[in-house]
Structure 1
């Protein structure tokens, strides 16, 4: 009996050691976040083991775990009709709010899920619930795009999938079929989905053949640049769940089909050192000492290496491609973008990407709403129902949908 108690105590202590990580007191529901982070880390470690055994690619294994635990069928309710179909060969899940006699035409939203261009699905519970809520509360048709993922495809295939699905939806006959107002259509996404939404928005405003234009873009903690992995938010949140800096850098390497040997060099900005000519020309567009307010920069110092690894950008030139990193776009492109909403979270490595993009858009004359949450963390918008219900998740989702309701 005594040995069983000792063993149980040891197991509890080990579990507590694995789960506990120091978090700022200002974060929403810290203990719940520790449990969520521990669960995700466990899934990552299992997928890495599967990879090491040669059974499957670690991202395929991890996504299998995520989708298996969260996949939801296209179940319709009295308020929202849900249909799985395809738009020009791209899988989509369409959410249609109930018709209202006073509003014969609905609003339209193209939604792009996050997951590092490699994980998640339009069909998992988190995104299904978010899009269903949008369709119901906005009386909208929400098209959630099931774009193809790394490692089956790489940049820029994900962008092409979203462009194809969105252009199909924007056709007059398709909008008529879904009773959507062609003047009230927006594009939106979170994290890597926010990256794709921003990239597609930039591409569409340069497409002279596109008749129906997007009225708004709404970006939720978007990932927008790979030039500097030492912005204040990257330094402040280097190990913050659920997206530590090292994981974000690996997502970039995976998306752009790079070499994992480059990860450590990229973490210290060796890929954009002063001897990398391609990066020098773009550095002014990402000068965070001028783009970020003093309340954000605090005492953080820029990390700019004099000499680095010039091979990285030669082998992965897409790191400095505005299609992959929309924050690097020219000012002339930015000034034509539609009204924009950007949601950022204090405890997120991507916080400064969103804030800098908002600043650059404002300087270009675009109307921007920057919605910042001091207790937010990366991914919180989709965590609104038990057992992963966070108070900041509910508040961020409500704030996001409210902005769409007022501006779309």
Structure 2
């Protein structure tokens, strides 16, 4: 009887996951994309996994977060004979350090890395990309294991990243790192954290000046979800504006019913709308990025109640694109990576413009066939990698070598 029940539940699980897969797997891959079939396969596999996780949560077997974390944590640890890998704690924040074994004259550069993945990311999941950066650029890489939602509410991740970074900057020489050659790098939500931490450090006179920041398709604002990239890329893979806001509202412990009003912009007061238009506007997106389609957004009435509920989304921790000009002007040299088929593409383009308008040197890498997550996948070898991700990794390493 128990065997029959187990088989029944397993079959039901697969059946529901398959239904979800077909209902949510419509993907639009533009003609001319050179790896269409591989992208289709990745998209369908991802949707199937997310569908299974959602179903198992609904039947109270395991939460979606727990299942996806379990999958990520099952990734085998990487052993690299060229690196010394050790786990430490920086100001009570867990970190993993990757140090090249090869001897070198003088001190190395240091790279502080904030992983992406939101609630599901971890040091383990991003170990391969950290090893790649350490080995290829001869850098000491510090991956920060910051606290994540839903167990830890804002601003815990930001505080952990800031604390670990400050600790490393003060003790860099203990790890064979030149304090004047420290770079901060982040992927996706880690890119958001990178932008926020770097901004928080601009007025610190007790620390060495950062050499550079590297932003890999970062989320930078919660003001306008109708920018061209959000409209054009809503059907490409599972990283949609809906998923961004679902994760963000869960992070703030807010009801998901608020999503539609936020998408309409009802959470922005008129005075702030006028202020933010200087920095967040489709008018600043080059015409070439509107060719795949763009329809100007309609203005909707402001809701004071909604603004009160989601006001934290406009904090610089969540929306570093909204920093004042006096902060932007002090930021270090920047490497910014964007992908054509990513809803966050225009966040990057707008930040690029702000930085350049204030004289900050920007090295921009735009992956014409890139999508959100392609750089992460590239670190897992030929089976998972796309040409766009390989190009992104190579460009990041080239930039690092100049630091």
After superposition, the Cα gap between the structure-2 partners of 1:265 and 1:60, relative to the gap in structure 1 and judged at 3 Å, is farther
Give yes or no for contact 1:74–1:82 (8 Å, CA) kept in 2: no
Partner SS, residue 285 of structure 1: coil
1:45 pairs, out of 39, 44, 51, with: 51
Partner of residue 67, structure 1: 73
Partner of residue 142, structure 1: 141
After superposition, the Cα gap between the structure-2 partners of 1:13 and 1:163, relative to the gap in structure 1 and judged at 3 Å, is closer
CA distance in 1, matches of 2:155, 2:21: 41
* 1:241-268 CA distance string (max 9 Å, x none): 1412211221222233322111122233
Give yes or no for contact 1:88–1:168 (8 Å, CA) kept in 2: yes
Give yes or no for contact 2:27–2:237 (8 Å, CA) kept in 1: no
Instruction: Verify: 1:340 aligned to 2:334, yes or no.
Output: yes
Partner SS, residue 267 of structure 2: helix
Structure 2, unaligned stretches of length 5 or more?
Answer: 1-17
Q: Write the mapping of 1:169-184 to structure 2, written as runs, cut at 5 A.
A: 169-171=168-170, 174-184=171-181
Partner of residue 265, structure 2: 269
CA distance in 2, matches of 1:144, 1:314: 35
CA distance in 1, matches of 2:93, 2:278: 34
Partner of residue 3, structure 2: none
**Cα displacement (A) at 1:20:** 6.3
Partner of residue 218, structure 1: 214
**Cα displacement (A) at 1:24:** 0.8
CA distance in 1, matches of 2:345, 2:53: 28
Give yes or no for contact 1:84–1:91 (8 Å, CA) kept in 2: yes
Instruction: Verify: 1:90 aligned to 2:83, yes or no.
Output: no
Structure 1, unaligned stretches of length 5 or more?
Answer: 1-11
CA distance in 1, matches of 2:19, 2:93: 48
Give yes or no for contact 2:100–2:134 (8 Å, CA) kept in 1: yes
Root mean square deviation of aligned Cα: 2.3
Partner of residue 372, structure 1: 366
Point out 4+ residue stretches in structure 1 off by more than 4 angstroms: 12-20
Partner of residue 403, structure 1: 399
Alignment: residue pair count: 383
**Cα displacement (A) at 1:221:** 0.5
Give yes or no for contact 2:134–2:140 (8 Å, CA) kept in 1: yes
Q: Write the mapping of 1:205-354 to structure 2, written as runs, cut at 5 A.
A: 205-208=202-205, 210-272=206-268, 276-277=269-270, 279-298=272-291, 300-354=294-348
* 1:125-170 CA distance string (max 9 Å, x none): xx21111111111111000111111111122111001011111111
Partner of residue 387, structure 1: 383
* 1:272-291 CA distance string (max 9 Å, x none): 3xxx2463243223342332
* 1:346-376 CA distance string (max 9 Å, x none): 0000000001000001111111112111111
* 1:313-332 CA distance string (max 9 Å, x none): 21111121122100011111
Partner SS, residue 61 of structure 1: helix
Give yes or no for contact 2:80–2:131 (8 Å, CA) kept in 1: no
After superposition, the Cα gap between the structure-2 partners of 1:253 and 1:21, relative to the gap in structure 1 and judged at 3 Å, is same
CA distance in 1, matches of 2:73, 2:30: 30
CA distance in 2, matches of 1:168, 1:14: 45
**Cα displacement (A) at 1:74:** 5.8
**Cα displacement (A) at 1:304:** 4.0
After superposition, the Cα gap between the structure-2 partners of 1:16 and 1:62, relative to the gap in structure 1 and judged at 3 Å, is closer
CA distance in 1, matches of 2:245, 2:33: 23
Moved more, 175-184 or 221-230: 175-184
**Cα displacement (A) at 1:57:** 3.8
Scaled by the length of structure 2, what TM-score is found?
0.89
Scaled by the length of structure 1, what TM-score is found?
0.88
Partner SS, residue 316 of structure 2: coil
CA distance in 1, matches of 2:304, 2:20: 43
